[in-house]
Amino acid sequence: MHIFNKKQALTQFLKQVKQKQKTIGFVPTMGALHKGHLSLIKKAKAKNNIVVVSIFVNPTQFDNVEDLNQYPKTLVKDLDLLKSVACDVVFTPSVSEIYNTNISAKKFNFDGLEHQMEGKFRDGHFNGVGTIVKALFEIVKPNKAYFGEKDFQQLQIIKKMVKKNNLPVKIKGCAIFREPDGLAMSSRNTRLTEAYRNAAPFIYKTLKKAKKKFGTENATKITAWVTKKFKKHPLLELEYFTIAEEKTLETAITKEKNKKYRAFIAVFAGKIRLIDNIRLK
């Protein structure tokens, strides 16, 4: 496994890979890797000659300094995990290697996708995501890049960015990987206390019930039901629940036959913010 922390050394290496007509699959991460990340890497390995994983905790996508400082950093363990799935190349740049001295995000227009859900609660988050993902694409020049559907809004925004900028990369969305009790895998789960960890599967249980209700009840009614359920919960605090159309991410008022919908949720388990979603139709 080749490990690089400088852009120039990585691009030189990847240039040779490209010259041999080999394809590059790319999995961008912020480290603290778990089985969900490994499943993306396995998918990338199956469809490309070389897999590049980046580990970079991107400061410009955090709207909260405490969250950035507390973000788990487990590089030694991450590298062991990456070796175990035969990852080919790891890129672990420093903040100055990526941003030089100007640690700020560029402004993007994602045709309104950025104003829904996470965009309402995490100021500037998607400008930060767009900035880093575009920068990494320019460095790695992958044929395909893999993102988990847990961050479904992020996935749609990256697809939009690729389309609007004609970037030569195919974006692949991969199904959410869950713990046996249903909790969506996330690097943030390791920061949950035992009580919050035990409570957290309630999120997916509620999503599954909402999915069942979607067959017979309208989105407004289901949203009210979920809100009430969380109001009664002793530990978990609902930030938002919304049923939205997959393409526009706009809240669904009525159901239309040829459209696909998902239920999206963000919940505070103490100070830890967890998100999840489920396909409805």
Quick check: 149 binds ligand PAF (CB under 6 A)?
A: no
Give the x/- contact pattern for ligand PAF in 29-68, rule: CB under 6 A.
Answer: xx---------------------------x--x-------
Q: What angle do CA 129, 204, 170 make, to 5 degrees?
A: 35
Stretch of residues binding ligand PAF (CB under 6 A), selected from 25-33, 73-81, 189-197, 238-246: 25-33
Q: Supply the minimum distance, in Å, between the C-beta of residue 187 and ligand PAF.
A: 8
* Given 38, 129, 167, 252, the residue binding ligand PAF (CB under 6 A): 129
Looking at the Cβ atoms of 36 and 265, the one nearer to ligand PAF is 36
By the rule CB under 6 A, 28 interacts with ligand PAF: yes
Residue ranges of E strands in the chain: 2-4, 24-29, 50-55, 89-91, 144-148, 170-174, 236-245, 261-269, 272-279
How far CA 183 is from CA of 31, 97, 113, 192, in Å, comes to 19, 35, 26, 12
Judged by CB, which is closer to ligand PAF: 146, or 241?
Answer: 146
Q: Which residues contact 177 (CB under 8 A, 6 or more apart)?
A: 34, 35, 36, 39, 148, 150, 184, 185
- Beta bridge partners of residue 27, listed in sequence order: 53
User: By rule CB under 6 A, what count of residues binds ligand PAF?
Assistant: 10
Q: By CB under 6 A, name the binding residues for ligand PAF.
A: 28-30, 58, 61, 129, 132-133, 151, 154
